[in-house]
Amino acid sequence: MPRRLRRHLPIFLPIVVFALLILLGRALPAIRDVLNLSLPFFGLIGLGFVCGRLVEIPEDGLKWMNFFIVYAALPALFYNLVSVTPFEELSNWPFVMGTTLSTTIAFALALAVGLIATRGDTRAATIQGVAGAYSNIGYMGPGLTMAALGPQSTVPTALIFAFDSMLLFTLTPFFIALGSPERMNLRETVATIARRVLTHPFNVATAAGVLAAWSRFEPAAPIGKMLAYLQNAAAPSALFVMGVTIALRRVMRVAPEVPVLLFIKLVLHPLIVWAMLSFIGDFGREWTFTAVLMAALPPALNVFVLANQYQVYVERASSIILTGTLASVATVTALLYAIATNAVPYRLFH
């Protein structure tokens, strides 16, 4: 293949994929509604990816955009979603335990794969564990679940985000420290974990929303309108920036463990969640499928952020995010089709 063609192939690949999906939707009306739901989300990622490859802008230009998304737009989204929810719905601890335990199992499986692939490198295996368990629940989760399952998906989406984030922000520094050649200072490690969990803007916004729901607080009209503007900007901004960020990552060859990790993330993780919630009890169609859909999302960009932070498994983390996002176009769309057509029950067994 000519070098010029190889260079531009990643740019045209998303365009070709989306064009084929649009043609498929026209040819098969039964899946048109599902494609109408999923394509805007993946289309924004693809648009960001193409722009990131075509326009040579330094990555530093994304810093303020990422700051806006993480510290303003998405916190406003989570606050608004949670604050209007009846307080009693926010204390569904069996649901929280089921989804969090499922994520823990997915992390353990991916960590084991990582330990085998790296021959015992705990630090690299930890990043692989996160790749197999941490979905893109911040950028993709809220918009996709609400579009697919309606307002009733609000509370489970917020709960999964808060507790999955706390779980993985706790496990990651612990295992990284465990695998470090330097002596682990337990007190400093615990303090660092607690500070990151308690001060993360998503968790702060969720906690503020819970307090507002409990007290039935309503912000002044101008503040409420500003929060609504920020909420509406969250999903499109986050998805576009996600595409640009993926485009700017240098992707090396796909490592042998990557397909296994993506199988855990895109297939096993949602199946574990589905089986776990079905076993625990009846949480209703919207709550159960929200959890399954959140688990089925591709690896989050935080996989690369954590890899870069600890300077381990950095390049391969990029390939996992890119290949996982591309693969999820098929897997997430198939799941959305199954949900929309009631092809599968929301409880696997009674």
Report if residue 245 sits inside a domain: yes
Per-residue pLDDT tens digits for 113-132: 999 998 888 889 999 999 99
CA distances from 90 to 57, 80, 160, 192, 231 (A): 43, 14, 11, 27, 20
Per-residue pLDDT tens digits for 267-310: 999 999 999 999 999 999 999 999 999 999 999 877 877 787 77
pLDDT for residue 28: 56
SS3 35: helix
Report if residue 347 sits inside a domain: no
Rounded to whole angstroms, how far apart are CA atoms 233 and 241? 12
Report if residue 348 sits inside a domain: no
Give me the helices (H) in the chain, please.
3-27, 32-54, 63-68, 74-83, 93-117, 122-131, 141-149, 154-179, 186-199, 201-215, 221-248, 258-263, 269-280, 285-296, 302-310, 314-340
Rounded to whole angstroms, how far apart are CA atoms 79 and 233? 14
CATH number at residue 92: 1.20.1530.20
Report if residue 345 sits inside a domain: no
Tally of domains within the chain: 1
CA nearest 267: which of 188, 335, 168?
A: 335
Report if residue 126 sits inside a domain: yes
DSSP single-letter state for residue 311: T
Rounded to whole angstroms, how far apart are CA atoms 108 and 56? 39
pLDDT for residue 269: 97
Rounded to whole angstroms, how far apart are CA atoms 160 and 326? 23
SS3 249: coil
Task: For the chain, state the CA radius of gyration.
Answer: 20
Rounded to whole angstroms, how far apart are CA atoms 260 and 173? 23
pLDDT for residue 5: 44
Rounded to whole angstroms, how far apart are CA atoms 316 and 113? 15
- pTM, 2 dp: 0.78
List per-residue pLDDT tens for the chain, 350 residues long: 444 444 445 555 556 665 666 665 565 565 666 677 777 777 888 888 888 888 877 777 778 887 888 788 878 887 887 788 777 777 889 999 999 999 999 999 999 999 999 888 888 999 999 999 999 887 788 878 888 888 888 889 888 987 888 788 778 877 887 776 665 566 777 777 677 767 778 778 878 888 998 898 999 999 999 999 998 888 788 778 878 877 776 665 677 889 999 999 999 999 999 999 999 999 999 999 999 999 999 998 778 777 877 778 877 887 788 888 888 888 998 898 888 888 899 998 77
Task: Determine the structural domain holding residue 214 and report its residue range.
Answer: 3-340
Rounded to whole angstroms, how far apart are CA atoms 270 and 264? 9
Report if residue 319 sits inside a domain: yes
Report if residue 234 sits inside a domain: yes
DSSP single-letter state for residue 300: P
pLDDT for residue 1: 47
Report if residue 94 sits inside a domain: yes
